[in-house]
Amino acid sequence: MAFIMEKLNIAMLLILVYQQILLSSSKELYQGHQERDEAAENKHKELFKGSSSKPTTPSDKDALEEFYHSTAGPAWLQNAGWLSGDPCQSMWYGIRCTPSGDVVEITLSHNGLAGQLPPKLSEMKNLQILRLYDNYISGILPISMFTIQSLIVLDLDQNQLSGNLPSVISLPYLTNLSLASNQIDGFMPYSWNCPNLQSVSVSSNNMIGPLPSSLSKLPKLKYLDLSDNIFTGPFPPEISALTSLETLLFQRNRGSSGVAPTIPESWHTLVNLKNFQVDGLSGDLPDIFDSWSKLEVLKVTFGQLTGEIPMSLCNLKSLQTLVISNNMITGTLPSCICKLSSTTMTSIDLSSNHLTGHLPDCFGSLHNLTDLTLASNNFSGNLPASLGACSHLNSLYLAYNRFTGSIPYTYAKLELKTLEIQGNKLSTVDDGLEQFFTGISFCSLYDNPWSCPLPTYLSNNTNCNPTCSKCNSLDKHTSCKACVSSSECGWCTEGPNCLEGTNQGPTYEYNCEPSNWIYGIEAACNK
Ligand SMILES: *[C@@H]1O[C@H](CO)[C@@H](O)[C@H](O)[C@H]1NC(C)=O
Ligand SMILES: *[C@@H]1O[C@H](CO)[C@@H](O)[C@H](O)[C@H]1NC(C)=O
Ligand SMILES: *[C@@H]1O[C@H](CO)[C@@H](O)[C@H](O)[C@H]1NC(C)=O
Ligand SMILES: *[C@@H]1O[C@H](CO)[C@@H](O)[C@H](O)[C@H]1NC(C)=O
């Protein structure tokens, strides 16, 4: 007996450790679950108040017993009541029943369930809610689960289920289908007959194929998460029928066959979209933002988007996050960008595109801006002085452009945590910025032709690492007084202002491991 107990304890410990690992890797998901948990718990209390008077329907009881055995019931974190007495009458943990003894809910989330789902579960003819997220259930997801006509919520997120989804799903009451973070493969069902379905999440599986146009037959769909699979384009224009859709997530799909999908013009009918996060797109961004007027988050990254930033984007009155990074967008940053909401707008990232021209100097109106990322473009001209009025600004990434001139004194009152402006053509720093620079935790000024001497607080600033014009990449080997070079590394040892050759070692571009640097005037790379 003692031996068995010890084994159980070890199993439990292992489960807890494993859960910790899962938790830390998916905190966001977990928070969502915690909320859902509370809701479920409250529902529980309600139901148990009216604890059923009649004994449980025999077929439900059989199914529960088989379920218990096939998912390691004795090792569950909580299993109070199970297998003793009647499920409904003795209130087995996680079970909810009707007064007539039909089991309508099984909620056993993060409860250490392991093993397989028995097909017998699908014989529970009145089951409405099956919530088993964050367990270790493995094996094939029995297709028969999709025959339980009474199902309203099926939530099997974060298990190890494999197999395919059925090609047809007809569940008249189903509102929420969550199968995220499993190992399900195969295609999306090609036919849906689920008039009440509001939420579908199959993210983080191995599903393949293009999206079936039949998804458009879900009139109440609000939430669709297809991220982290192997789906491919093109996107069906028919999705335009999903006029209730609020969230569409299609990120990191690894499908490589086929061309990157474009956003069909017909999608302008998705007037309730709030959250659109789709990467790997191609073509131009369609000018449809006047119809997507409720948009709060627009994230289109890692694709081949071309064309300019559509003007209609500036009319998004509720936009909070704008990310169009790692694409091939051309043109300038239109000054209408400053007409975005002064209260909601917090984050703009247009990095790694082909944007050119001067930045508009109108950022003062974006009071709540916290992050501005325009790095790796071809912007030129001065740094916008108006940014100094964005008092919530936390990070400013403008690296690898062609900005010239000075860091403006208007930035004096900013309390930046991060400033990256390396790889530009900046040459001076206005007076009065000492305080500003001391507050910055992550600061990169290198690869700019700073006219030295810079103020001492900067020239000795090993956090920011400003480089003198003499160490500027173009002329570092020719005009430097003391230039060290070898076949692997070469850098200037001109003095404290020069990154290449100060005791900070060479810049990243010399490909020298920090542990190999030889510091000081004899600086070299010890390979
Ligand atoms: C079902 O999905 C909707 C839409 O995403 C969501 O608001 C709701 O909280 C979900 N309900 C349950 C019970 O999970
Ligand atoms: C945004 O601005 C409004 C008004 O200026 C302010 O009340 C609100 O707290 C700000 N929000 C954030 C996140 O700073
Ligand atoms: C950047 O702009 C300059 C003109 O301002 C142009 O000569 C150069 O080719 C552009 N570079 C890229 C990578 O687009
Ligand atoms: C700055 O660095 C120079 C050269 O290393 C040194 O002589 C000087 O004392 C330093 N100044 C301050 C204020 O640390």
Ligand 1 centroid distance, CA of 222 (Å): 9
Residue at 417: amino acid letter: K
The whole-number pLDDT of residue 458 equals: 81
Ligand 4 centroid distance, CA of 461 (Å): 10
35 pLDDT above the threshold of 90: no
Compute the distance between CA of residue 76 and CA of residue 132 in angstroms, rounded to an integer: 12
Closest-approaching ligand to the CA atom of 352: 3
DSSP letter at 468 equals B
Of 519 and 302, the one with more pLDDT: 302
What's the mean pLDDT in 174-178? 98
CA 3 centroid distance within chain = 45
Compute the distance between CA of residue 333 and CA of residue 356 in angstroms, rounded to an integer: 8
First to last CA, the chain: 62
* Residue whose CA is at the smallest distance from ligand 3 atom 10: 378
* Residue whose CA is at the smallest distance from ligand 2 atom 1: 343
Ligand 1 centroid distance, CA of 175 (Å): 7
Residues with CB under 6 A from ligand 2: 343, 367-368, 392
Closest-approaching ligand to the CA atom of 404: 3
CA quadruple 465, 470, 475, 476: dihedral sign: negative
Ligand 2 centroid distance, CA of 248 (Å): 27
From 454, 458, 459, 460, the mutation candidate for ligand 4 (largest count of ligand atoms within 8 A of CB) is 460
Compute the distance between CA of residue 433 and CA of residue 425 in angstroms, rounded to an integer: 19
- Per-residue confidence band for 318, with pLDDT thresholds at 50, 70 and 90: very high
Q: Are strands 103-107 and 95-97 parallel, antiparallel or unpaired?
A: antiparallel
Compute the distance between CA of residue 437 and CA of residue 448 in angstroms, rounded to an integer: 17
Atom of ligand 3 nearest to the CA of 378: 1
4 pLDDT above the threshold of 90: no
Dihedral pair phi/psi, residue 458, rounded to 5°: -95, -40
| CB contact burial 218-245 (16+ within 10 A = b; e otherwise) | beebbbbbbbbbebbbebbebbbbbebb
Q: Across-strand partners of 114?
A: 136
Q: Across-strand partners of 193?
A: 170
Collapsing DSSP to helix, strand or coil, 143 comes out as helix
Length of the chain measured in residues: 527
Is 66 exposed, middle or buried, given 0-12, 13-18 or 19+ CB atoms closer than 10 A? middle
Closest-approaching ligand to the CA atom of 460: 4
Q: Which two tokens stand for residue 160?
A: 């190890």
Q: Cα torsion at 73, 74, 76, 77 (round to 10°)?
A: 150
Residues with CB under 6 A from ligand 1: 36, 153, 175-176, 198-199, 222-223
Evaluate whether 330 touches 354 at the Cβ level (below 8 Å): yes
Q: Please state, as a whole number, how many other Cβ atoms lie within 10 Å of the Cβ of residue 113.
A: 26
Residue at 403: amino acid letter: F
Domain at 280-468, CATH homologous superfamily: Ribonuclease Inhibitor (3.80.10.10)
Q: 386 Cβ partners below 8 Å, 6+ apart?
A: 361, 362, 363, 364, 410
CA quadruple 104, 109, 114, 115: dihedral sign: positive
What's the mean pLDDT in 302-311? 94
Distances (CA, A) of 9 to 2, 16, 82: 10, 10, 19
Q: What percent of the chain has pLDDT over 70?
A: 77
Evaluate whether 282 touches 262 at the Cβ level (below 8 Å): yes
Ligand 1 centroid distance, CA of 176 (Å): 6
The whole-number pLDDT of residue 268 equals: 95
Ligand 3 centroid distance, CA of 378 (Å): 6
What are the tens digits of pLDDT across the range 339-350?
Answer: 999 899 999 999
Q: Which two tokens stand for residue 131?
A: 């919530």
Closest-approaching ligand to the CA atom of 504: 4
* Residue whose CA is at the smallest distance from ligand 1 atom 14: 176
What's the mean pLDDT in 126-138? 97
Q: Please state, as a whole number, how many other Cβ atoms lie within 10 Å of the Cβ of residue 82.
A: 20
Q: Please state, as a whole number, how many other Cβ atoms lie within 10 Å of the Cβ of residue 441.
A: 9
Atom of ligand 1 nearest to the CA of 36: 14
Collapsing DSSP to helix, strand or coil, 140 comes out as strand
Spatial CA neighbour of 128 closest among 153, 110, 164, 161: 153
Evaluate whether 82 touches 93 at the Cβ level (below 8 Å): yes
Counting DSSP H helices and E strands in the chain, the numbers are 5, 34
What's the mean pLDDT in 99-127? 95
Compute the distance between CA of residue 327 and CA of residue 303 in angstroms, rounded to an integer: 5
Dihedral pair phi/psi, residue 18, rounded to 5°: -60, -40
Cα angle 497-498-500, degrees, rounded to a multiple of 5: 155
DSSP letter at 195 equals T
Among 101-115, 136-150, 477-491, whose mean pLDDT is lowest?
477-491
The whole-number pLDDT of residue 514 equals: 58
Q: What is the pTM of this model?
A: 0.81
Dihedral pair phi/psi, residue 43, rounded to 5°: -60, -40
Q: 457 Cβ partners below 8 Å, 6+ apart?
A: 434, 437, 438
The whole-number pLDDT of residue 525 equals: 59
Ligand 1 centroid distance, CA of 445 (Å): 47
Unique residue bearing structure tokens 């720093």: 429
Q: Are strands 183-186 and 347-349 parallel, antiparallel or unpaired?
A: unpaired
Atom of ligand 2 nearest to the CA of 392: 14
Q: What percent of the chain has pLDDT over 90?
A: 68
486 pLDDT above the threshold of 80: no
The whole-number pLDDT of residue 454 equals: 76
**Across all residues in the chain, what is the average pLDDT?**
83
Among 54-58, 494-498, 520-524, whose mean pLDDT is lowest?
494-498
DSSP letter at 20 equals H
Atom of ligand 3 nearest to the CA of 354: 14
Closest-approaching ligand to the CA atom of 434: 4
Compute the distance between CA of residue 36 and CA of residue 349 in angstroms, rounded to an integer: 32
The whole-number pLDDT of residue 461 equals: 73
Unique residue bearing structure tokens 């984007």: 313
139 pLDDT above the threshold of 50: yes
What's the mean pLDDT in 283-301? 94
Collapsing DSSP to helix, strand or coil, 139 comes out as strand
Dihedral pair phi/psi, residue 335, rounded to 5°: -70, -15
Ligand 3 centroid distance, CA of 397 (Å): 19
* Domain extent listing, the chain: 280-468, 477-522
Cα angle 296-298-300, degrees, rounded to a multiple of 5: 170
Q: 83 Cβ partners below 8 Å, 6+ apart?
A: 65, 68, 73
What are the tens digits of pLDDT across the range 359-410?
Answer: 999 999 999 999 999 999 999 999 999 999 999 999 999 999 999 999 999 9
Atom of ligand 2 nearest to the CA of 344: 1
Among 28-42, 184-198, 474-488, whose mean pLDDT is lowest?
474-488
Spatial CA neighbour of 293 closest among 347, 257, 340, 327: 340
135 pLDDT above the threshold of 70: yes
